[in-house]
Chains A and B, each alone.
Chain A
Amino acid sequence: MSKKVKKRGWEHFPHQADVGIRGLGSTKEQAFEQAAVALTAVITSPDRVKPARKVQIRCSSPDDELLLVDWLNCLLYEMATRKMLFSRFEVHIENNNLKALAWGQKRNVAKHCPVVEVKAATYTELSVRQDEAGTWIAQCIVDV
């Protein structure tokens, strides 16, 4: 693949005790959305989660990196208290304020076979940046 092609997607990267999640996109917003898919993928396969219901999420932080952690932790809070899993995301960021929609469904142990509960998104290996090819990367380690 040519270096100039801007990627969109997600991946996990290894950490000795926990898991690294990474979102890639042509915009910062897309990278945040993909990082959220990577978060769901720690718990279950995102394809198994129907985007049936939407939830609104807002948060703000002094910089992009703290905002990424805040966004992921807000999602964890919604997952825990609404007993939902999410698979589709739409993120808007303006002046360090994030407004987002997350689509998902009630979690179902038989259907989703959740592997592990994520305790929190952390500041370890935390970075929000653009690479030379212009791809936005949003990543951190999550504690499981």
Chain B
Amino acid sequence: MEHKSLKRRSEYEWVIEPFGKMRVPAVIYADETLIKAMDEKVCQQATNVASLPGIVKASYAMPDAHWGYGFPIGGVAAFDPDNGGVVSAGGVGFDIACGVRTVTTGLTADDVVPVKKTIADLLARKIPAGLGSTGKLHFNKKQMDDVLAGGARWAVDRGYGTKEDLTRIEEHGAVSGADPAEVSDHAKKRQEDEVGTLGSGNHYLEVQQVTEIYDAKVAEAFGIRPGRIAISIHCGSRGLGHQVATEFLKKMATAAAGYGIELPERDLACAPIKSPVGQQYLGAMRSAINCALANRQILTHLLREVFASVFPKAELKLLYDVSHNTCKEETHAVNEQPKRLFIHRKGATRAFGPGDKNLPPELRSIGQPVLIGGTMGTASYILVGTSESMSLAFGSSCHGAGRSMSRTQASRQWQGRDVVKSLEQRGILIRCPSLRGVAEEAPGAYKDVSEVVEAAHNANLSRKVAKLVPLICIKG
């Protein structure tokens, strides 16, 4: 990308000073190689976001930024409710609170590798994955409201996990301010059979081996050691989140003009935070966040059941659970004064530095675990939030590799069967309901996650702690 207005501010920071309708600058964190390969649309979308009412400081893009819906994927923006600030359904995205959680096991590769096939088959049988898979739990409307209000806390109260799990989830397992009454009957209906399911596309459950440690002290505090096995789950709020996003996108797109908001593109649909539509969306979107947290909690329970049947003594501890499609009300320093802001992170991970009171006491002096998913053939990374990140991008970092090739192109280039075979030769077992799905998700269709992580590390958005490589991948 060679955008005429893009200026290099430092080795890892690029800026577009305000022009036209922009109210604040757009800032992209990346190295030169990533910037050159970045889609031109990222600049366009980041500048569009910079024109929205009430935006604070800058419209940010993380090193993995790519063309999204209204906001770039990898976009971060904060809005001031006292200055006409908006909340945007497009700025959160269709898979509300899609995120990653990582569980440590205390097991080593020597324990797991000999029974890899057994575990892969058991997981494939137990974890509902792919289109059409249904969870074991089925809810009526009243029960669904309890899930939406209670999130992972609701799940733990029903025996799906432990109280300790909750301390390792953002918002301690349930975001406050959820209003299930703002979630339509259609959205609830769509979720009826989908609680506790992985979904499809880039969602997965992966058994991983820690291969590199970059920061021994932090890794120790996270319970991460070389050669140990961890498991990561990547999924979101399923049908309920998709339906909430769809409905509010339309509501906001049609209401925007009435609020005097000129939308540069319809996907940027938004409403003032203090408006009725804004408040309704916040109530519904927070319910969808809780839906995602409950979903990942139930999947963790299923995962624990599988591991208990093979390794009765193994203790699966939740390291952390991060959501990377959200809008959250947080306090940040603006002109050295604390200010309540609404932070949109679209394909960006919250990455709070040491000292933040939202972190559990044992991690407070360390910083928040930042979980970055890779592809089924490369690697995932664990990073830690930095103090600098709080002022760089409201405590945010990248979220994953990001695609470099379209699905259409990937399915033309690779055969699912060949992808599975070549990964198996490298010791990675894939279980996926669809071979074309595997081809579309082929590792070669993604950018190099290491490069993205390196840029996030060098830009001080978060610091590298460990690298994990896949052994088993259950694809949705």
Give chain A's interface residues, CB within 8 Å of chain B.
12-19, 43, 61-62, 65-66, 69-70, 73, 76-77, 80-81, 83, 107, 109, 113-117, 119-124, 126, 141, 143-144
Q: Are A16 and B253 in contact (CB under 8 A)?
A: no
CB of A77 within 8 A of CB of B190, answer yes
Q: Report the separation of the CA atoms of residues A126 and B66 in the bound assembly, to the nearest whole angstrom.
A: 18
User: Across the interface, which residues of B come within 8 angstroms of A69, CB to CB?
Assistant: 250
A113 / chain B contacts, CB cutoff of 8 Å: 433-436
B43 at the A interface (CB under 8 A):
no
* Residue in B closest to A45 when the chains form the complex, CB atoms: B436
| New contact pairs (4) apart from A17-B73, A107-B131, CB-CB < 8 Å | A65-B266, A66-B250, A114-B434, A123-B249
B69 on interface, CB distance cutoff 8 Å: yes
A116 and B434 contact, CB distance less than 8 A: yes
- Expressed in whole angstroms, the Cα–Cα distance for A141 and B476 within the complex equals 21
Report yes or no: B403 in contact with A16, Cβ–Cβ below 8 A. Answer: yes
Complex contact A81–B39 (CB within 8 A): no
How many of B's residues come within 8 Å of A, CB to CB? 49
- A116–B440 CB distance below 8 A: yes
Is B67's CB under 8 angstroms from A15's CB?
A: yes
| Residues of chain B with a CB closer than 8 A to A109's CB | 130-132, 433
Give bound CA distance, A33 to B26, whole Å.
40
Q: Are B73 and A114 in contact (CB under 8 A)?
A: no
- What residue of chain A has the Cβ atom nearest to residue B245's Cβ? A120
Q: B118 CB to closest chain A CB, in angstroms?
A: 23
Task: Using known A-B contacts A123-B253, A124-B267, A143-B94, determine if residue A114 contacts B132 with beta carbons closer than 8 Å.
Answer: yes
Contact with A along B179-216 (1 / 0, CB 8 A): 00000001001101000000111000000000000000
B437 adjacent to A116 (CB under 8 Å): yes
Q: Determine if A83 and B94 form an interchain contact, defined as CB atoms under 8 angstroms apart.
A: no
> Using Cβ atoms and an 8 Å threshold, which residues of chain B touch A70?
250
Residue of chain A at shortest CB distance from B441: A116
Separation in Å of the B363 CB from the closest CB of chain A?
32
Residues of A within 8 A of B433 (CB): 109, 113-114
Contact of A17 among B66, B242, B434 (CB under 8 A): B66
Residues of A within 8 A of B131 (CB): 43, 107, 109, 114-117
Within the complex, the shortest CB–CB distance from B34 to chain A, in Å, comes to 14
Indicate which residue in A14, A114, A120, A123 contacts B130 across the interface (CB closer than 8 Å): A114
* Residues of chain B with a CB closer than 8 A to A61's CB: 250
**Residues on A with beta carbons closer than 8 Å to the beta carbon of B59:** none
Once bound together, how far apart are the Cα atoms of A115 and B132, in whole Å?
A: 11
Residues on A with C-beta less than 8 A from B94 are 119-120, 122, 143
Chain B residue numbers with a CB within 8 Å of A14 are 406-409
Q: How far is the CB of B36 from chain A (nearest CB, A)?
A: 16
Kindly state the separation between the CA atoms of A143 and B241 in the bound complex, as whole angstroms. Answer: 13
Q: Flag whether B13 is at the interface (Cβ < 8 A).
A: no
How far in angstroms is the closest Cβ of chain B from A89?
A: 20
Give the complex CA separation of A123 and B132 in angstroms.
26
B266 in contact with A62 (CB, 8 Å): no
**B372-410 vs A: 1/0 string, CB under 8 Å?**
000000000000000000000000000000111111110
CA distance A109 to B133 in the complex (A): 9
CA distance A15 to B434 in the complex (A): 21
Counting CB contacts under 8 A, is B279 at the interface?
Answer: no
Given contacts A15-B67, A15-B406, A19-B408, contact A107 B201 (CB under 8 A): no
Chain A residues near B404 (CB, 8 Å)?
16
Which residues from B are CB-within-8-Å of A77? 186, 190, 243
Write out, one digit per residue, whether chain B residues 239-252 have a CB within 8 A of any chain A CB (1) or not (0).
Answer: 10011011001100
Determine whether B358 belongs to the interface, using a CB cutoff of 8 Å to chain A: no
